């Protein structure tokens, strides 16, 4: 049935090609009318079925093409969405890296500032301690000098303090 219409057309073609020509009319021939009409009737009967089959095949082809286009669009949309997600992930990753780097820089700056502040504080405390110790040393030296001066043995008769004065002070205390 697939090529039945083509077979009928081939038989008609053969019939006409092999037909006897009419004398003095090269473009005319004699064929069996009933046989030719029978083939044409067969062709009429077969053509609607083959036309219907051809239409069905065309519709199936169009459906297939439409489905393929729809699937291609779906694949493309999915790929575009995946690409956008990857770009978004890259952007998030880049932002996270930038934030991490900024946090590290801030932490390092705060650590440097804290070290400077602690160094200044310790240096100031040591300076004040040194000044205090220096003042205490000067005070000790002055007191020692006074002590030496006060306890220095002077020639007899020149002492301002007598033994009696020392004993009286010991008794008072």
Q: What is the pLDDT of residue 117?
A: 93
Q: What is the pLDDT of residue 43?
A: 82
Residue pair 29/22 in contact (Cβ under 8 Å)? The answer is yes
Per-position pLDDT tens, the chain of length 173: 457 778 888 888 888 888 887 777 677 888 888 988 888 888 888 777 777 888 888 899 999 999 999 999 999 999 999 988 888 888 888 889 999 999 999 999 999 999 999 999 999 999 999 999 999 889 888 898 888 888 875 555 555 556 666 566 555 55
Beta bridge partners of 20: 30
CA 38 to chain centre: 77
With tokens 């997600």, the residue in question is: 85
Residue pair 40/12 in contact (Cβ under 8 Å)? The answer is yes
SS3 101: helix
How many whole angstroms separate alpha carbon 43 and alpha carbon 45?
A: 5
Dihedral angle computed from the Cα positions of residues 44, 45, 49 and 50, in that order, rounded to the nearest 10 degrees:
-50
How many whole angstroms separate alpha carbon 135 and alpha carbon 32?
A: 149
Q: Strand 20-22 to strand 25-30: parallel, antiparallel, or no bridges (unpaired)?
A: antiparallel
What is the model's pTM? 0.37
DSSP label of 24? T
With tokens 């009429």, the residue in question is: 44
Instruction: Supply φ then ψ for residue 26, to 5 degrees.
Output: -65, -25
Q: What is the C-alpha radius of gyration for the chain, rounded to an integer number of angstroms?
A: 63
Largest Cα–Cα distance of the chain, in whole Å?
191
Residue pair 19/32 in contact (Cβ under 8 Å)? The answer is no
């Amino acid at each position: 049935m697939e090529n039945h219409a083509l077979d009928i057309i081939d038989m008609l073609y053969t019939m006409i090609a092999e037909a006897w020509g009419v004398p003095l009319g090269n473009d005319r021939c004699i064929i069996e009318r009933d046989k030719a009409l029978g083939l044409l009737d067969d062709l009429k009967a077969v053509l609607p079925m083959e036309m219907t089959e051809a239409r069905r095949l065309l519709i199936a082809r169009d459906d297939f093409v439409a489905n393929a286009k729809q699937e291609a669009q779906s694949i493309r949309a999915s790929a575009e969405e995946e690409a956008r997600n990857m770009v978004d992930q890259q952007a998030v990753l880049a932002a996270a890296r930038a934030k991490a780097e900024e946090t590290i820089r801030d932490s390092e700056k705060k650590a440097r500032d804290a070290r400077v502040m602690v160094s200044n504080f310790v240096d100031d405390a040591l300076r004040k301690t040194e000044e205090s110790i220096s003042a205490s040393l000067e005070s000790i030296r002055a007191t020692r000098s006074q002590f030496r001066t006060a306890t220095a043995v002077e020639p007899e008769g020149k002492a301002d303090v007598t033994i009696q004065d020392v004993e009286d002070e010991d008794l008072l205390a």
